[in-house]
Amino acid sequence: MTARAVARAAGSTLRLLAARAGATPPLLSAAAYLTQRCNLRCTYCSAPLRRTPELDTATWRRLFDELARLGGRRVAILGGEPLLRADLADLIAHARDLDLAVSLTSNGLLVPRRLAALRGIGHLTLSLDAPGPSNDAVRGDGVFAAVEAAIAAARGAGIPVKLNAVLSAPTTPHLDALLDFAERHDLPVTVNVVRSGAPDLWHEAATIKDADDAMRATLARLAVLARGNPRLLFAPATYRYGAAWGDYSRDRVEAGEWPADDPRLRRAPRCLHGRSALSIDADGSVYPCVATFGRIRGGNAARDGLEACWRALHDHACVACYAPCLVEQNALLNLQPGTVWRFARRRLGRYA
């Protein structure tokens, strides 16, 4: 673990503790969706179909400036496929100059030819749902081979790599093979499950969604595996919460939609998206997270400024979801001891 990583983690923790005493919530990180264009057409993703306009380089640089001024520590660069942006190297360099930790998520296809643009990122996340043909059935022909090539290329350039999987009916049976692949290649992996409640966001995900009982069983199994498999980054508690969700055709719940004493609400970590973390769409619209795109909008950062959009989201109505990536992040932002300790042991030492 580098001294810089320790300092970032300690500073973030202190600011979260201060927020519990009634201070303004600290803005720690942003997910920047530089583009919704993509060179793939995955079954469960509507990003390239939305035809979202894109901010220019100068505007993104200005938003990164504002994020740093507000105390942000990290920016995650996503899409679509962010490697389609010709100005990616410029934007990453600018974020690094602001002392923002940078991560980037890619489908891998363009990684070998755009390695120069990726230098300086803390880690590269490659999307891989399963090894072999079942992955390509969901994501496109040749994608698995492209991810293998991207892993080799990134490692050759000294860029840390992790995997992110989104399990669905075609890929869930290959979970053990995915974990074996991660073990052979010495890769950590975050495992999510497909969401289907918003077709404008998740395209045809409903056609490959497992039955609710099968999804519940998968999440329960992941909770068991996470206790002993060092490749799995999310905490067992994250998956146990997802296993209790029940109706997986519903991605999230807003205040008043479930009874206040519903155990799924009582057990949910308080949602701190829109408070300590936020998402910026390609056109500058600001949302708590990707699951609220088009639903809970704080304004447009290019027009209104990032701070105004962030403050407008502080009291948003979304209270719970089952997506492991969001549950995990909320648990960390709420300083849940077990999840924080696991994060420190399994991530900070690997990703500066």
Nearest to 241 by CA among 180, 315, 323, 179: 323
Q: What per-residue confidence (pLDDT) applies to 12? A: 60
- Rg from Cα positions in the chain: 19
Q: At residue 164, what is the residue type?
A: N
What is the mean pLDDT of the segment spanning 154-165? 97
Q: How confident is the model at residue 1 (pLDDT cuts 50, 70, 90)?
A: very low
Look up the pTM and report it: 0.93
Q: How far is CA 243 from CA 206, 213, 226, in A?
A: 18, 9, 14
From residue 195, give the alpha-carbon distance in Å to each of 246, 304, 339: 13, 31, 23
Q: Return d(Cα 289, Cα 296) in angstroms, integer.
A: 9
Answer yes or no: is pLDDT of 23 > 80: no
In single-letter form, the type of residue at position 33 comes to: Y
Please answer whether residues 321 and 292 qualify as being in contact, where contact means their C-beta atoms are separated by less than 8 angstroms: no
pLDDT over 50 at 159, yes or no: yes
pLDDT at 130 over 70: yes
Mean confidence (pLDDT) of the chain: 94
Give the pLDDT of residue 3: 53
- Mean pLDDT across 97-110: 98
Distance between CA atoms of residues 332 and 32, nearest Å: 20
Residue 67's nearest CA partner among 106, 16, 104, 26 is 26
Spatial distance between the Cα atoms of 16 and 6, rounded to a whole number of angstroms: 15
Q: If you average pLDDT over residues 94-112, what whole number do you get?
A: 98
- Whether residue 286 contacts residue 313, with contact meaning beta carbons closer than 8 Å, is answered with yes
Percent pLDDT > 70 in the chain is 92
For the residues of 252-297, what is the DSSP string, one character each?
EEETTSS-TT-HHHHHSPPP-BTTTEEEE-TTSBEESSGGGTTTS-
Segment 235-260 shows an average pLDDT of 97
pLDDT reading at 284 higher than 60: yes
The answer, yes or no, to whether residue 17 has pLDDT greater than 90, is: no
Note the pLDDT of residue 206: 98
What tens digit of pLDDT does each residue of 143-154 get?
A: 999 999 999 999
In this prediction, residues 231-239 reach a mean pLDDT of 97
Q: Could you give the angle at the alpha carbon of 186 between the alpha carbons of 184 and 188, nearest 5°?
A: 120
Give the CA dihedral 149, 153, 154, 155, nearest 10 degrees: 100
Mean pLDDT for the stretch of residues 161-168: 98
Q: Please compute the mean of the pLDDT values over residues 24-44 and round it to a whole number.
A: 96
| Averaged pLDDT, 325-350 | 86
Which token pair is 274?
A: 């829109």
Statement: residue 344 has pLDDT above 70: yes
- Strand partners for 254: 318
What confidence score (pLDDT) does residue 341 get? 87
What average pLDDT does this structure show over 169-178?
98
